[in-house]
Amino acid sequence: MRHKGPIGNQDLVKKINMEHTIRTILAHRPLSRAKIASLTGLNKMTVSSCVDLYLQKGIVAELGTTGTSRGRPPILIDIDETGGICVGVDVEINQFTVLVTDLSGKKLESEVYPLEDKDPLYFVEAITRILANLAGVHNQRRLGIVGVGVVIQGYYNHNTNIVGFSANLQEWNGFHLMEELSRRNPSLLFYVKPAPYAGAMGEIHFGRSRLVEHLVYVTSSWGMSVGVYNKGELFTGSTGTAGRLGHSTIHMNGKKCTCGNRGCWEMYASIKALYQQLEQTPQQVPFADIVDNVNRGDSQTTSAVHELGHYLGIGLVNVINAYNPGVICIGGLLGLLGQPLLNSIWGTLRESIPARFLEGLDIYCSDLGELGVAYGAVSLVLDQLPGTIIRYALLEQV
Amino acid sequence: MRHKGPIGNQDLVKKINMEHTIRTILAHRPLSRAKIASLTGLNKMTVSSCVDLYLQKGIVAELGTTGTSRGRPPILIDIDETGGICVGVDVEINQFTVLVTDLSGKKLESEVYPLEDKDPLYFVEAITRILANLAGVHNQRRLGIVGVGVVIQGYYNHNTNIVGFSANLQEWNGFHLMEELSRRNPSLLFYVKPAPYAGAMGEIHFGRSRLVEHLVYVTSSWGMSVGVYNKGELFTGSTGTAGRLGHSTIHMNGKKCTCGNRGCWEMYASIKALYQQLEQTPQQVPFADIVDNVNRGDSQTTSAVHELGHYLGIGLVNVINAYNPGVICIGGLLGLLGQPLLNSIWGTLRESIPARFLEGLDIYCSDLGELGVAYGAVSLVLDQLPGTIIRYALLEQV
DNA sequence: TTATTTTGTATAACTATTATACTAAATTTC
DNA sequence: GAAATTTAGTATAATAGTTATACAAAATAA
């Protein structure tokens, strides 16, 4: 059992510096070689050699000079964002959404497909056809499909690559999703994550939390869960179920939950709980109407949302104590409730946690909108993009 | 704001391979050069050159040959565990314990000192004298004091290096501990962590969890808190208060807590709660007597411990959902309650979490005994030992 | 005694970084 | 308007750690 991490040699050195270079370009583009050198601390020549490699492979391009300051004008380098596409797939109960972006994350197209059959193999076959079609349409792009992020209902065991437990799509339980996807699409890279994890990653790449190191993403569509982003990566726990807080106990003698436990957070603070409080169903009152009612100031809805925020706040006490995040993002349908919900949450937090533990904490509602989860799926690809690019650039032959 | 991680050059390569070498020696000592090469994947010559450097500096030594298999007998290499000392300091309310070990973590000596003055400067002056004395006593050791782990009451902000909040030693709140320690001991490396974090690290280095990747350490001496170890490092959160679960809500309309919140876990599952349940105080009945009573089967104590385990279990539901650990270790005084407590915990867990989320989970009571926290302090030093050794070995001049 | 096996070293080739010197191309100054 | 200055980028040779090859050392097996 050998010690972790690659061994040190020239290949590793090259890889590391190629990574510094591409990450810096991605973060500050467009950029001159000189600027890359000063930002990374790399030697000018090292930067030139890395950039040359990327240029050769057509991954970056020279944009020409811009004469702003004095001295020889810099040649701006930029990634060719049209050189490949990212695919994000959000699998819901009755449908799945496919979002296609360029390498900068800019949306190119999105489409919703029905999930006609709950059998996961149906999905695998369907997405395989869609991906084959996308590969054809975008075949002039040098890098093709750089990765496919798949956001699933339920948990995902990253050790076994098996769908762990999906309350909404029971047929998927125990399915070897990665294996089936990879077998049918051997040239493609897949990244599978549960929705709250992808939500967290989405906020880091597309939301208000670009440079954040510690974020917790809270989401409820019907049940509830959270995703934890910590110092550059998702906190998954040993088998991929970290953040299953919908079933954490906030009221030990409270309402009986479907999971068998009592007083689960999602019995009080989920969309499900909100509908119960309103004595309505989504069939009777679509969630958009509830949002409208809150924004209009409807008293019954407002008070229900206030109560929801109170219970959300109680659970967030536990989130804050458990993870000590710098930022909490409320996503999913919950996030659409906006400021009224936040006000209520803060009221409860201030009563429940000494102020020193709330200092600097930012809580906001996601503003990624309807495609939020699909953007989360794309962010799984973007997160690995530097590695993908480097591997391509360092290939011996094209 | 430049991208994280060092840039790639030959120095880095050397450092990486020196690290592979020393970590492999530490993990499998004693070891031949050939074995190091095969374990690490490094080239034989690379291993030879790294080992030579360590030999030159006297950090490792050749033990001579052992002719087991056929072929030329290997020369065994081992670290000189007497080449330096680790110091661990456990600061409690009225006293502090200093544990001295060799580089393998073997205890050399330990001593308890009274904390005569609550002013943190008193402690700083006292430990400075003790360290100066230790440095003198062990001055024949090449590396001297390789590090000092300090375990404090309360939290510690790793960004500001200020003691965050200490309920038991209020005088320490806001104290620049690291600065004061380093100013007086400029040649020493200090590692400061709250007790539950050090507890977790101690289990990884000294306890039953050597190769564990995901561990949560739960401790109560009076209040409660947890430390989370995740994939090689402590999970601290953004400001170092992650794991403050003693004040997480398990009963939202429950007992009023000193923190202002209601239904905090530690109102039900801490040593404090146990004494309240027993209507006793530690002055009347030392904790050791409670442990004796449980082991003797005293009915009142047994039922109180059973209840404690039930409440612990409820909070552990939240721990399991939040962190998805592979191992939970019960430490501090709580851990002394042993199997009766574990039985009660498991009873509650099985009622509260579907079995699939408990699969493979190991829960045990720490068996590190009285010096457990002090060993945790030493483990903070051992955790950084490879880095310390490498820095020393790569120094230009001695 | 010889062949084989395994350990460890010596040597030269390889390659990415790096320091130095240099060219390129702009603005500022005189 | 020419010269000086400043900044960007390249060319070249030096440096240094890994690595492949060959080889020496020291044991067992045949």
- Predicted local distance difference test score (pLDDT) of residue B1: 39
Instruction: Determine the residue of chain B that is closest to A43 in CA distance.
Output: B7
B252-270 confidence digits (pLDDT tens): 989 999 998 999 999 999 9
Residue with tokens 């501090």: B332
Q: Two tokens at B295?
A: 């082991």
Q: Tell me how many degrees the CA angle B280-B286-B289 measures, rounded to the nearest 5.
A: 100
Measured in angstroms, the CA of A342 and the nearest CA of chain B are apart by 19
A135-151 confidence digits (pLDDT tens): 999 999 999 999 999 99
What's the mean per-residue pLDDT of chain B?
A: 94
A287-308 confidence digits (pLDDT tens): 999 999 999 999 999 999 999 9
- Predicted local distance difference test score (pLDDT) of residue B368: 93
**Averaged pLDDT for residues B315-340:** 97
Across B70-82, b (16+ Cβ under 10 Å) vs e yields eeeebbbbebbeb
Q: Two tokens at A251?
A: 């009221």
Residue B386: cis peptide before it, omega within 30 degrees of 0: no
Burial (CB < 10 A; 0-12, 13-18, 19+), residue B282, is middle
Q: Two tokens at B241?
A: 């208060």
Report CB contact under 8 Å: B326, A238.
yes
B398 pLDDT higher than 80? no
Q: Which residues contact B69 (CB under 8 A, 6 or more apart)?
A: none
- Predicted local distance difference test score (pLDDT) of residue B3: 62
Q: Two tokens at B108?
A: 């050399």
- Predicted local distance difference test score (pLDDT) of residue A27: 92
Distance in angstroms (rounded) separating the CA atoms of residues B163 and B179? 11
Q: Which residues contact B292 (CB under 8 A, 6 or more apart)?
A: none
Band of residue B396 on the pLDDT scale cut at 50, 70, 90 = low
- Predicted local distance difference test score (pLDDT) of residue B166: 82
- Predicted local distance difference test score (pLDDT) of residue A308: 97
Q: State which residue has its Cα closest to the C1' atom of C28.
A: A70
B-chain residues near A243 (CB < 8 A) = 321-322, 324
Give me the torsion for CA of B156, B160, B165, B169, rounded to 10°.
80
**Averaged pLDDT for residues B208-216:** 94
User: B140: how many CB neighbours lie within 10 A of its CB?
Assistant: 8
For residues B81 and B103, the answer to whether their CB atoms sit within 8 Å is yes
A39 CA – D1 C1', rounded, Å: 38
Domains of chain B: 10-79 (1.10.10.10), 84-199+377-393 (3.30.420.40), 209-367 (3.30.420.40)
B110-146 confidence digits (pLDDT tens): 999 999 999 999 999 999 999 999 999 999 999 999 9
Which segments of chain B are extended strands (E)? 60-65, 75-79, 84-91, 95-101, 107-114, 144-152, 156-157, 162-163, 190-194, 214-220, 224-230, 233-234, 327-332, 362-365
Strand C: which nucleotides have any atom within 7 A of a protein Cβ? 4-11, 14-20, 24-28
Q: Using a 7 A cutoff on CB, list residues near strand C.
A: A 10-11, 13-14, 17, 42-46, 49-50, 65, 67, 70-73; B 7-10, 32-35, 44-45, 48, 52, 69-75
**Averaged pLDDT for residues B320-326:** 98
Distance in angstroms (rounded) separating the CA atoms of residues B254 and B265? 10
Distance in angstroms (rounded) separating the CA atoms of residues A117 and A126? 10
Element (H, E) at B266: helix B266-269
Measured in angstroms, the CA of A113 and the nearest CA of chain B are apart by 32
Of how many residues is chain B composed?
A: 398
Q: State which residue has its Cα closest to the C1' atom of C7.
A: B72
Q: Which nucleotide is nearest to B44 (CA to C1')?
A: C8
Q: Tell me how many degrees the CA angle B367-A238-B231 measures, rounded to the nearest 5.
A: 75
Strand D: which nucleotides have any atom within 7 A of a protein Cβ? 5-12, 15-21, 24-29
Distance in angstroms (rounded) separating the CA atoms of residues A349 and A310? 9
B37-62 confidence digits (pLDDT tens): 999 999 999 999 999 999 999 999 99
B-chain residues near A353 (CB < 8 A) = 247, 259-261
**Averaged pLDDT for residues B214-243:** 96
Burial (CB < 10 A; 0-12, 13-18, 19+), residue A372, is buried
Nearest to B260 among A3, A249, A352 (CB): A352
Measured in angstroms, the CA of A139 and the nearest CA of chain B are apart by 32
- Predicted local distance difference test score (pLDDT) of residue B112: 97
B192-207 confidence digits (pLDDT tens): 999 999 999 999 999 9
Cβ contact A45 with chain D strand, < 7 A: yes
Measured in angstroms, the CA of B4 and the nearest CA of chain A are apart by 8
Q: State which residue has its Cα closest to the C1' atom of D26.
A: B72
Element (H, E) at A90: strand A84-91
Report CB contact under 8 Å: B20, A13.
no
Residue with tokens 């450092």: B15
A57 CA – C13 C1', rounded, Å: 28
The tens-digit pLDDT sequence of chain A (398 residues) is: 346 789 999 999 999 999 999 999 999 989 999 999 999 999 999 999 999 999 999 999 999 887 767 888 899 999 999 999 999 999 999 999 999 999 999 999 999 999 999 999 999 999 999 999 999 999 999 999 999 999 999 999 999 999 988 888 889 999 999 999 999 999 999 999 999 999 999 999 999 999 899 999 999 988 999 999 999 999 999 999 999 999 999 999 899 999 989 999 999 999 999 999 999 999 999 999 999 999 999 999 999 999 999 999 999 999 999 999 999 999 999 999 999 999 999 999 999 999 999 999 999 999 998 899 999 999 999 999 999 999 999 986 43
Half-sphere exposure of B384 (CA within 13 A, CB side): 19
**Averaged pLDDT for residues B277-294:** 94
Q: State which residue has its Cα closest to the C1' atom of C11.
A: B45
Q: Two tokens at A356?
A: 């020193």
Band of residue B70 on the pLDDT scale cut at 50, 70, 90 = confident
DSSP sequence for B104-127: T--EEEEEEEE----SHHHHHHHH
- Predicted local distance difference test score (pLDDT) of residue B249: 97
B43 Cα distance to chain centroid: 34
